Structure 1
């Protein structure tokens, strides 16, 4: 299978075939039924354009109290387990001997984006972050450990997987825009991003 290495980000184009993608979407829908999507708010009080939920021992949340991991959904219910179909991708590509503690589910509707950020709320940066793209294409921008400087961009398509480890682990990255309606995987359009992390 083809692998691209851009600024230390390992990108596996089309790693998931259409049948596997559909199976993952079905499993994600079960996660969302158990722990509904919600609109997160940044510590400054700004509502993010994505909706999110989580699966696993811990879920990533943000509100006026800050960015952090919590053992429960904002409603108070525990997060559902990470589906085996998602763990299969982690086991195949992460190179980690630890299973992830958290699977963040981000849903990008029309006009949603994600500003440049670092994944740095975890306690062990030696473990990679693995990201799975499902649905509409998204322009993924990769930067540096410090803000600013030269960046590179690539279009992520449904079924692509990105592994951020080693020198890319703490690099800034984000989604500049989504080509809404570019995929037929989700009947009403949109993009699902699954981000798997070892928290501690």
Structure 2
């Protein structure tokens, strides 16, 4: 098994070409804001348990912003809350922060272009970038929930995926685009961490083999009034780039 990157210093780490983990990217205030936003969104669009075409049921519950995701496509007949502008700006900042660590996050053909600054982990910020995610998937991990290795391949754009972690810690497993097997890297994600993958790693297999129940910061429970579990928000561009845009 690959040695997990459970370092004490929690410095930014390149998980693969074009994939970056930035620890502690969100401040406590930003995390609280996101958790409250998730409560508001879930009140409009209740999280659901996904049954896969093969009959299996995902152990996480999920809901969407922007476009409704169903395995393995987006269903525009279903109305879901929009992706707010502040969340798009946060995703752009996250992309900039990751590209400052590994420029391969933004490949030449990505619609996001090359950010000219790292930005800051501030949802109010707006670095100059064409990256405009039109969908966010919010996954809720309860006790015992996991996510098998998979590719995010339902999008018609090759733009990077920006992932934000809240609540309980987890083991995040990041592999290669070729298959679900080794080599892969395990890294512990904590509340407030950022992961971005694009460029050569845009189609890499990844998953969550373990969530460490009860490890969320105490203030997360205060915000939600309950155990938060793990909350993961992934932002994606799902439509193909506009020609000549």
TM-score if structure 1 supplies the norm length? Answer: 0.90
Instruction: Map 1:43-82; keep pairs closer than 5 Å.
Output: 43-56=53-66, 58-62=67-71, 67-73=72-78, 78-82=79-83
Instruction: Map 1:130-149; keep pairs closer than 5 Å.
Output: 130-147=162-179, 148-149=181-182
Q: Structure 1, residues 114-141: CA drift from partner, whole Å, max 9, x if none?
A: 000001111121x000100000001000
Give the stretch that moved more between structures: 93-102 or 9-18.
93-102
Instruction: Map 1:1-200; keep pairs closer than 5 Å.
Output: 2-8=11-17, 9-56=19-66, 58-62=67-71, 67-73=72-78, 78-95=79-96, 96=112, 97-125=130-158, 127-147=159-179, 148-183=181-216, 184=218, 185-186=220-221, 187-200=226-239
Q: Deviating runs (4+, > 3 A) in structure 1?
A: none
CA contact (8 A) 1:23 1:85 kept: no
Deviation of the 1:85 alpha carbon: 4.0
| Secondary structure, aligned partner of 1:16 | coil
How far apart in 2 are the matches of 1:111 and 1:133? 17
CA contact (8 A) 1:27 1:83 kept: no
How far apart in 2 are the matches of 1:138 and 1:158? 9
Classify 1:22/1:85 alpha carbon distance in 2 versus 1 (closer, same or farther; 3 Å): farther
Q: Counting strand residues as a fraction of each chain, which structure ranks higher?
A: 1
Number of aligned residues: 190
Structure 2, unaligned runs of 5 or more = 1-9, 97-111, 113-129, 240-245
How far apart in 1 are the matches of 2:145 and 2:62? 12
Give the stretch that moved more between structures: 79-88 or 16-25.
79-88
Q: Which has the larger radius of gyration?
A: 2
How far apart in 1 are the matches of 2:131 and 2:68? 17
CA contact (8 A) 1:116 1:174 kept: yes
Q: Structure 1, residues 127-183: CA drift from partner, whole Å, max 9, x if none?
A: 000100000001000111121221110000000011011111010000011001101
Deviation of the 1:93 alpha carbon: 2.1
Deviation of the 1:87 alpha carbon: 2.1
CA contact (8 A) 1:59 1:103 kept: no
